[in-house]
Structure 1
């Protein structure tokens, strides 16, 4: 894919997610992320933070989902598209078994995992990737079309 075919502007952002939650998203099992603020729809790079939530490894839902998967840290490991961001109405049941009460939930779709994670630095809030990182991403997914 050439840069001439890419959308104009900041068409993709990065989001950092702790392991094992990132692995659950990359396995296409966890379709929402839990955040304190609303996020806008669009394409995101899925960056795995450098820390692993050790207690989460003992949660049966997570253990079943990540069984046999490597927990890569400190790398961009895939892409996804945020299609919506919502909170559950007060007193309503959670939208999925992955939802945390009171959190904003960006809904993730079209998840694509990279064959080779790309070492990179991230941050908690959505961040803008460098043009070089975007080029490396597009090399990983030659059929990806935003």
Structure 2
């Protein structure tokens, strides 16, 4: 039994210590906004925050989480009112949409670290997250838009 804090709520989870955080979130807690992409920590679709830092949920075990605070896309802004979520809509970022929760979570970590990144900083920070549809220019514009909000 492990106790997790996810999106500000404490959960007791019956899972093996080597279970990936991705499966705990999706299968045990029903938080399906965190997507399964590659299961190898190579695409970023499963990006969540662990103590405010972007991390791949597929490559993080339940044991590695310990007492850390986990934030998923559902906890970023439950009503979709986060400035990044608004910017994503305004810039029409999603095409298929599958990678978008991971993209938004990585972008939120970027803006928490650097509230006014330039284009090169955005591109560099976001590079671990892949978008099969190639909406990278729209992603950059959305992050720039969100960074411009007060």
TM-score by length of 1: 0.25
Richer in strand (by share): 1
TM-score by length of 2: 0.25
Richer in helix (by share): 2
Higher relative contact order, structure no. (Cα contacts within 8 Å, ≥ 6 residues apart) = 1
